[in-house]
């Protein structure tokens, strides 16, 4: 079987794992699409995406349209004569006329077991909900939001203390592995997509910074998931009595705490414990604005919270 002409579309580290897996397997794309360079970091310097950096290192043609909704961008993609368009965390909407261009399929590498957690933030949503498992779906793209039929899935267990960042890295690798494993079967037609059960669908909306604020009236178990889900982006946080914004990166549930929510029931060199709606949280790793992350012992030497 001749190798398909692949166009790859992706932007962040999650997408990079699928692109590198394709290249390593000899399924080298004829072109790579990624979002335009954007300001990033504290200095707001214009930076290329991880996908662009790697693609240029490999000598692959890179395209960075602002949108795929105009006729010129669609014609440019069509001129590449792709059999497959493989999309992983690209970040731009693909209209129907673009989805119709590849002769075989448009495949999306999605970080959940569809139809659970369609949308922009499936990894965070799975942790917030207390899901025990999640995984990767290879989906045939349609104009709707992650509602196309699914070629294949692969599941993983979510660790009890696993952060979104840690789970992201595992799923990114898994996505590349599943893509390479099933690509030939998809192209040959041996692997056909199955329709999703729309009645079972759940949705993971785009994350806003304010979503990460800690509400101490919530149960400790829920807040433990909250902290894990927003690590590393945007970072769970609370405001101290002096209106200092404090980020919390790691915490442990303390079931025996019974005090007014938000009360520091312990704040010394042996640890920081805050009462929640039910139980409490031992804050293991924290961060002040402009400072590096610190364990509780180091943190209490930096500032006195109330």
- Check residue 233 and give its pLDDT: 96
- Check residue 2 and give its pLDDT: 80
- Check residue 243 and give its pLDDT: 82
Whether a cis peptide bond, with omega within 30° of 0, leads into 186 is: no
| Residue spans of the chain under pLDDT 70 | 1, 41-43, 242, 305-306
- Check residue 265 and give its pLDDT: 95
Among 184, 138, 174, residue whose Cα is nearest residue 26: 184
Interval 46-60: pLDDT, tens: 899 999 999 999 999
- 132-162 per-residue burial string, b: 16 or more CB within 10 A, e: under 16: eebbbbbbbbeeeebbbebbbbbeeebeeeb
Question: How much is the mean pLDDT over the chain?
Answer: 95
| Cα pseudo-dihedral 66, 69, 74, 76, rounded to 10 | -20
The 3-state secondary structure of the chain reads: CCCCCEEEEECCHHHHHHHHHHHHCCCCCCEEECCCCEEECCCCEEECCHHHHHHHHCCCCEECCCCCCCHHHHHHHHCCCCCEEEEECCCCCCCHHHHCCCCCEEEEEECCCCCCCEECCHHHHHHHCCCCEEEEEEEECCCCCCCCCEEEEEEEECCCCCCHHHHHHHHHHHHHHHHHHHHHHHHHCCCCCECCCHHHCCEECCCCHHHHECCCCCCHHHHHHHHHHCCCCCCEEEECCCCCEEEEEEEEEECCCCCCCCCEEEEECCEEEEECCCCEEEEEEEECCCCCCEEHHHHHHHCCCC
- Check residue 42 and give its pLDDT: 66
Interval 113-157: pLDDT, tens: 999 999 999 999 999 999 999 999 999 999 999 999 999 999 999
Taken in order of first residue, the domains within the chain and their CATH numbers are 6-204 (3.40.50.170), 209-302 (3.10.25.10)
pTM: 0.95
d(CA 49, CA 16): 9
Q: Taking CA 147 as the corner, what is the angle to CA 144 and CA 153, rounded to the nearest 5 degrees?
A: 145
- Check residue 43 and give its pLDDT: 67
Interval 287-303: pLDDT, tens: 999 899 999 999 998 77
- Check residue 36 and give its pLDDT: 96
């Amino acid at each position: 079987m001749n190798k398909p002409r692949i166009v790859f579309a992706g932007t962040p580290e999650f997408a990079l794992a699928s692109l590198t897996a394709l290249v390593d397997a000899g399924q080298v794309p004829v072109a790579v699409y990624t979002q335009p360079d954007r300001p990033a970091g504290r200095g707001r310097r214009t930076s290329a995406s991880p996908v662009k950096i790697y693609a240029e290192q490999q000598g692959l043609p890179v395209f960075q349209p602002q949108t795929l909704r105009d006729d010129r961008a669609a014609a440019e993609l069509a001129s590449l004569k792709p059999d497959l368009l493989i999309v992983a965390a690209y970040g731009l909407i693909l209209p129907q006329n673009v989805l119709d261009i590849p002769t075989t399929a448009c495949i999306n590498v999605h970080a959940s077991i569809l139809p659970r957690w369609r949308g922009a933030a499936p990894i965070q949503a799975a942790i917030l909900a207390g899901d025990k498992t999640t995984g990767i779906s290879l989906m045939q793209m349609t104009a709707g939001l992650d509602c196309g039929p699914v070629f294949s899935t692969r599941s993983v267990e979510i660790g009890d203390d696993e952060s979104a960042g840690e789970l992201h890295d595992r799923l990114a690798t898994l996505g590349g592995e599943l893509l390479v494993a099933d690509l030939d079967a998809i192209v040959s037609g041996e692997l056909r997509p199955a329709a999703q059960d729309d009645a079972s669908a759940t949705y993971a909306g785009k994350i806003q910074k304010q979503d990460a604020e800690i509400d101490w009236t919530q149960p400790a178990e829920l807040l433990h998931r909250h902290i894990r889900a927003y690590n590393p982006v945007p970072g769970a946080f609370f405001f101290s009595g002096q209106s200092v914004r404090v980020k919390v990166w790691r915490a442990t549930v303390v079931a025996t705490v019974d005090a007014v929510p938000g009360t520091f029931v312990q704040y010394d060199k042996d640890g920081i414990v805050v009462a929640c709606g039910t139980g409490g949280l031992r804050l293991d790793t924290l961060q002040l604005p402009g400072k590096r992350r610190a364990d509780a012992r180091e943190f209490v030497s930096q500032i006195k919270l109330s």
